[in-house]
């Protein structure tokens, strides 16, 4: 880990949805530090606040109270547009449902974040091909999602998340729609990306998937209930089967 301030620092973070009698407090004063290069699994029962925390960390939402510092900048004070710029520059996202455009190729799906950035067609294509190569799918660049297995679709989604070379990769139940073999395959890729220096924050309810992380943070009732480091996280070697 690097010396100095953490990459991410949460202090007293709260999140309330609704008002009055209908108000629901999803987060109740969360304190959390995440260092650059960590692989953190966020766990907890349904309604514990883990997905709310991930959305706040990825600048998809803003806290109701408290401080969120990213690289020393106060995220809670940013406007919607400023958060969007921060998100596009520093964060990549992987979701349970893949969220691929069905009628476009893997290559075009991976290019999307760069299209939103205004990159030229040549730069988008070159970067997307590199990202697909990184997840072992360069030869499938011109196939649509319907022509890919579930594991391959999730790898395309990972390529889309890393094509911008983000500092942080956020994964929300990334293996939730996959069988056991494909789940371990995807975790192997995430662990490999982490070894390359990308900070990985993953929400999961599966202990065997969380075992790949170096640290497990458990949420209960909107608070951090435990924060434990893995001395020996699951190794990805030998589990990188092709889909």
Q: Answer yes or no: are the C-beta atoms of 31 and 225 closer than 8 Å.
A: no
- Tell whether 43 is covered by a domain: yes
Q: At residue 237, does pLDDT exceed 50?
A: no
**pTM: predicted TM-score of the whole model, two decimal places:** 0.89
CATH of the domain at 25: 3.40.50.300
DSSP annotation of 46 reads: T
- Tell whether 238 is covered by a domain: no
- Tell whether 242 is covered by a domain: no
- Tell whether 243 is covered by a domain: no
- Tell whether 239 is covered by a domain: no
Tally of domains in the chain = 1
- Tell whether 54 is covered by a domain: yes
Distance CA 230, CA 234 (A): 9
DSSP annotation of 75 reads: G
Give 54's contacts (C-beta < 8 A, 6+ positions apart): 42, 170, 172, 201, 203
Q: Report the range of poorest mean pLDDT among 82-86, 96-100, 169-173.
A: 96-100
Distance CA 53, CA 223 (A): 10
Of the candidates 58, 241, 66, 81, the one whose C-alpha atom is nearest the C-alpha of residue 167 is 58
Q: At residue 241, does pLDDT exceed 60?
A: no
Give the pLDDT confidence score for residue 108 in this predicted structure: 96
Q: Which domain holds residue 81?
A: 8-229
Q: Is 79 helix (H, G, I), strand (E, B) or coil?
A: coil
Q: Answer yes or no: are the C-beta atoms of 92 and 25 closer than 8 Å.
A: no
Beta strands in 111-214 (DSSP E): 168-172, 199-203
Q: Answer yes or no: are the C-beta atoms of 54 and 42 closer than 8 Å.
A: yes
Tens of pLDDT along 118-176? 899 999 999 999 999 999 999 999 999 999 999 999 999 999 999 999 999 999 999 98
- Tell whether 152 is covered by a domain: yes
Check residue 60 and give left, alpha or beta (phi > 0: left; psi -120 to 50: alpha).
alpha
- Tell whether 3 is covered by a domain: no
């Amino acid at each position: 880990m690097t010396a100095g301030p953490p990459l991410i620092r949460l202090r007293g973070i709260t999140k309330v949805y609704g008002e009055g009698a209908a108000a629901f407090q999803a987060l109740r004063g969360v304190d959390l530090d995440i260092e650059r290069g960590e692989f953190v699994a966020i766990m907890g029962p349904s309604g514990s606040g883990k997905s709310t925390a991930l959305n706040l960390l990825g600048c998809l939402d803003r806290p109701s109270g408290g401080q969120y510092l990213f690289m020393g900048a106060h995220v809670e004070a940013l406007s919607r547009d400023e958060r969007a710029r921060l998100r596009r520059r520093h964060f990549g996202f992987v979701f349970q449902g893949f969220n691929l455009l069905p009628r476009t190729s893997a290559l075009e799906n991976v290019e999307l974040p760069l299209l939103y950035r205004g990159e030229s067609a040549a730069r988008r294509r070159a970067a997307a091909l590199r990202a697909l190569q990184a997840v072992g799918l360069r030869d499938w660049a011109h196939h649509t999602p319907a022509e890919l297995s579930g594991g391959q679709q999730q790898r395309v989604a990972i390529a889309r998340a890393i094509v911008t070379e983000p500092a942080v990769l956020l994964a929300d139940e990334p293996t939730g729609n996959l069988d056991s073999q494909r789940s371990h395959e995807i975790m192997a890729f995430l662990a490999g990306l982490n070894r390359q220096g990308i900070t990985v924050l993953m929400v999961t309810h599966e202990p065997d998937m969380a075992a790949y992380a170096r640290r497990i943070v458990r949420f209960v009732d909107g608070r951090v209930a435990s924060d434990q480091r893995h001395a020996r996280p699951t190794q990805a070697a030998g589990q990188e089967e092709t889909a």
